[in-house]
Structure 1
Amino acid sequence: MDLWIPVTIFAAFCQNARSALQRHLAGRLGTTGATFVRFGYGVPFALVYLAGLHWLGGHSLPEPNAPFAFYGMVGGIAQILATFLLVYLFSLRNFVAGTAYSKTEPVQAAIFGLVLLGETVTPLAGLAIAVGVVGVIFVSLAGKPVGFGSLVTALAGRPAQIGLASAAMFGLSAVCYRAASLSLGGPGFLMQAAFTLAFVTTFQTIAMIAWMAWREPDQLRASAVNWRGAVWVGLVGVAGSAGWFTAMTLEKVAYVRALGQIELIFTFIVSWRIFRETLHPAELIGTALIAGGIVLLLLGT
């Protein structure tokens, strides 16, 4: 089994846990505050991880360059916007559907990967991504009559538009992170990913602190007051990000994000067991299609 596969599954699991923690915090912090803790409280863990690889693992630090800084900052801003939209989306629909809309990201990541990096996907992998997106659409129709009219309504609604925009920003950020990591040219995929993660998380934290101090100081104070829950968001978030950055350094973003749709299966478990939300037959069908898409993806890569 290629290393990027278990690393991606680990990252998806951590991302699901982080999203669940953020959802709880959103009620106490608001959308901006819940978005900030993902980055602000993750910086110390990202720096500790980088230092551990360097001092304990013996990995030398890479030399940053202009393309690295450019792609890292563009990706960082795109991820902030994507996270903000996703957290806001949780207030419009249930936890499963909110996450599902963001899972259209593999298609958009494939487009960004082609445009920015010239990366293509195999026909079977393309089919796998398409099957996964169909599964996402089924989830979006949960609790509604399934038909052409309901499909158009669901995709044209406000939650879908916000979810698709979030997915686009996530796709752009992922491709930028791969470009930033690869631009370092060494000394190895673990250190390249960790260095990129530390740079991006630090940049995101500085950018959000400046914005919140100017526009939403109350959210900055609330983020500090709720530090106990925020620390866990930062820890789990960085663990997941380390997995994503490592996997995307090893493999094309479209493949990594397509496999990352396995997060939706974890989401169902969280939705059912923790949030006690009712699951609809369409959501189960959609999950089965997503699982089928993952199997096709693994066969086509």
Structure 2
Amino acid sequence: MLWAVFTIIAAAAQTARNAMQRELTTKLGTAGATHVRFLFGFPFAVLFLIGTMVVTKLPPPSLATPTFWPWIVLGALSQIIATALMLSVMNRRSFVAATAYIKTEPVQVAIFGLVFLHDQIGAAAAVAIIVATAGVLIMSIKPAAADAARLGSTLLGLGAGAMFALSAIGYRGAILALAYPNFVVAATFALVVSLAMQAGTLTLFLALRDPFVLRRILRLWRPSMFAGFMGALGSAFWFLAFAITAASNVRTLATIEILFAQGISIIVFQQKPSIRDICGSIFVVFGVIMLIHNAH
């Protein structure tokens, strides 16, 4: 059950990072706020890798593993797109609603995992995924949600969920492709490589497209540093969980992020939950309990 502990820590760290990125979006724009998590997360990931190698006394995995690269590229690029879409939705809707849209991801992860990685899903786990996702849908679909703006937010949120799903599959595939004897070193190594690719890609993009944003990112280094640290911390535990179990299990348990988002929304953004949000949260919790019980 170590994967469950890793997932809960990752979900909590990601909620904190998302909240900080939401605030940075107003100052840096979507691309700038997206870049923050990768640029400032990379140094922390390197420190994590050095720490794991010192403790385990193992060398880093080889970069000359051909099957590693397609998976890590898929994971890294999908995550960039997913983060940008997520921040765009957060600008249009409440923090909780945006998180809810994205958490339709478990069903997509289960399908992608079965097709690309042959991760098997038991009947009980499939029911847990459906129940948790139903809770997400209860929170995200409103009866009076027929206007074009809300439809656009829904499509962006579902798109973000799909990209996060592909990202999860890419990262799990990359870690497994390394075939390294120590899963902690393998997961942390994959994290460092992905963040290096993401930070480099977005730095080049912004340098060519909008260098002013890069300067603003550096001026806002203090809040950006916190967002980067929480992003690297969350990602490190996501990767550790992916190294142990199927991505669908990890992403289903990750729906508890909705509950963390509710807390942030109430305390930080002063957004009160509706009855629909509370009912949806109950479904999410029930689905998570079913998943953990089945896994145990």
Q: TM-score range by the shorter chain?
A: over 0.9
CA contact (8 A) 2:75 2:168 kept: yes
Deviation at 1:43, TM superposition (A): 0.7
Name the SS for the 1:66 alignment partner. coil
Tell me the equivalent position of 1:85: 85
Deviation at 1:222, TM superposition (A): 1.5
Tell me the equivalent position of 1:15: 14
Tell me the equivalent position of 2:61: 62
Structure 2 CA distance, aligned partners of 1:214 and 1:120?
A: 44
How many residues matched?
A: 294
Q: Does residue 71 in structure 1 map to residue 71 in structure 2?
A: yes
Structure 1 CA distance, aligned partners of 2:117 and 2:148?
A: 32
Structure 1 CA distance, aligned partners of 2:139 and 2:34?
A: 24
Structure 1 CA distance, aligned partners of 2:66 and 2:36?
A: 28
**Which of the residues 225, 228, 243 maps onto 1:231?**
225
Deviation at 1:133, TM superposition (A): 1.2
Tell me the equivalent position of 1:115: 115
CA contact (8 A) 1:100 1:264 kept: yes
Aligned residue runs from structure 1 range 1-301, under 5 A:
2-64=1-63, 65-141=65-141, 144-145=142-143, 150=144, 157-301=151-295
Deviation at 1:278, TM superposition (A): 2.0
CA contact (8 A) 2:105 2:164 kept: yes
Structure 2 CA distance, aligned partners of 1:154 and 1:60?
A: 53
CA contact (8 A) 1:41 1:230 kept: yes
CA contact (8 A) 1:43 1:201 kept: yes
Identify unmatched segments of 5+ residues in structure 1: none
Deviation at 1:298, TM superposition (A): 1.3
Structure 1 CA distance, aligned partners of 2:225 and 2:212?
A: 19
CA contact (8 A) 2:134 2:283 kept: yes
Structure 2 CA distance, aligned partners of 1:57 and 1:111?
A: 35
For residues 277 and 151 of structure 1, do their structure 2 counterparts lie closer, same or farther at Cα, with a shift above 3 Å needed?
Answer: closer
Deviation at 1:57, TM superposition (A): 3.4
Output the amino acid matched with 1:267: A
CA contact (8 A) 1:140 1:154 kept: no
CA contact (8 A) 1:99 1:264 kept: yes
Name the SS for the 1:121 alignment partner. coil
For residues 91 and 255 of structure 1, do their structure 2 counterparts lie closer, same or farther at Cα, with a shift above 3 Å needed?
Answer: same
Deviation at 1:279, TM superposition (A): 1.3
Deviations 1:182-240 (A, max 9, x none): 11111311001000000000010001111111112222221111111100011011000
Length-normalised TM-score, structure 1: 0.94
For residues 121 and 3 of structure 1, do their structure 2 counterparts lie closer, same or farther at Cα, with a shift above 3 Å needed?
Answer: same
For residues 271 and 82 of structure 1, do their structure 2 counterparts lie closer, same or farther at Cα, with a shift above 3 Å needed?
Answer: same
Structure 2 CA distance, aligned partners of 1:293 and 1:36?
A: 33
Deviations 1:148-175 (A, max 9, x none): xx57779981111000000000000101
Length-normalised TM-score, structure 2: 0.96
Output the amino acid matched with 2:169: V
Identify unmatched segments of 5+ residues in structure 2: none
Deviations 1:83-131 (A, max 9, x none): 0000111011100001110001111111111111111211111111111
Name the SS for the 2:198 alignment partner. helix
Deviations 1:27-71 (A, max 9, x none): 111111100000000110000111111124313211231111221
RMSD between aligned residues:
1.6
Structure 2 CA distance, aligned partners of 1:74 and 1:33?
A: 21
Structure 2 CA distance, aligned partners of 1:105 and 1:208?
A: 24
Deviation at 1:73, TM superposition (A): 1.2
Structure 2 CA distance, aligned partners of 1:153 and 1:4?
A: 40
